[in-house]
Amino acid sequence: MAFFLPLVVLLACIVIRKGTLGTWIACAIFAAMVVAISRDVVHDWRDRIDIDEQGLQVRIRGSEGYMAWANVIYTSLSEDPDHRWALLLDSAEGRLTLPVERFDRRAVWDIVRANVQPSALDIQTHRNRPEVQAWLQSAHEQVTSLTEPLVTRDAPFLTIVMWLFMVLWVGAAIASVWLWSNPWALVIFAPLAILFAVQVLSLGKIEWTSEAVVRIEPIGIYEIRWDEIERIEATYDFSALCLIGHGKVLALLGSGYWSGKDASRARELVGLQIALYQIPVHYSAGALFRFSKGTRVLRPTRKH
């Protein structure tokens, strides 16, 4: 969101100052920007992967991480349906997931395979390790002991931000006709006003259970079961999260925007379910532009 707002304001200035021609130029720039970001064409030129005999140091999209070869207990290279590649490195301390489509992924994968233990390359061997089995058993017990839904709400400041920008673009749309005599500016301002109006109506809460994830909004209820989720797609900063599987998509705000007393436990539950269901996580800026699909329900389904 922080990336979009300055550019949108810039485009608004172009519209106001340049009239009809400026409107179409702004539309073209805005459309190109959306396509470039959603297709992951825009990258940080500082992204890099440094590999030596001790381990792997990465900097991707402003985030940094390090994994020593000796600590790797499982690794894999996977491709999502949109042909984006990710390198997964698991250790006892945590997980490192790296989008590697921009790099020579085969060369990186060959180096990783040459430096980790052979057992780290086989998922079944990894899951049969006593410590992993013990952790999975503990995770299963934590999930099944959940008797009431965990409830998270969208961060309150988002409501304020969405309302402010909706009013801003509605005002700009009116002003473009009555004050600036540039009705063509509605081509940009009207869609932006509608977009933020939809965002305002989409603010709500999420109920997390051991069986499903339910998104409750003023305009509808959306649900996907954990056993239906085939992959998770998230933005690089985890500001948007999409649960995808069986032709369904449940689009959510990222965990940084969850509020409420259950927010911390909900984040933990997501991590546990990812491990228990072996759900692959892929990172893409395109997650920001996804909408829920095939998940609308009349009421949440719950076991009693």
Domains of the chain plus CATH, in order, are 48-128 (2.30.29), 150-154+202-297 (2.30.29)
| CA within 13 Å, CB half, 139 | 17
What is the predicted pLDDT for the residue at 112?
A: 92
Low-confidence ranges of the chain (pLDDT < 50): 1-3, 304
The count of other CB atoms within 10 Å of the CB of residue 116 is: 19
pLDDT in tens, 242-294: 999 999 999 999 888 899 999 999 999 999 999 899 898 888 877 888 889 99
The count of other CB atoms within 10 Å of the CB of residue 173 is: 20
What is the predicted pLDDT for the residue at 115?
A: 93
The runs of H, that is alpha helices, within 145-262 are 156-178, 186-202
What is the predicted pLDDT for the residue at 44?
A: 56
- Can you tell me the distance from the alpha carbon of 65 to that of 59, in angstroms, rounded to the nearest whole number? 7
What is the predicted pLDDT for the residue at 1?
A: 47
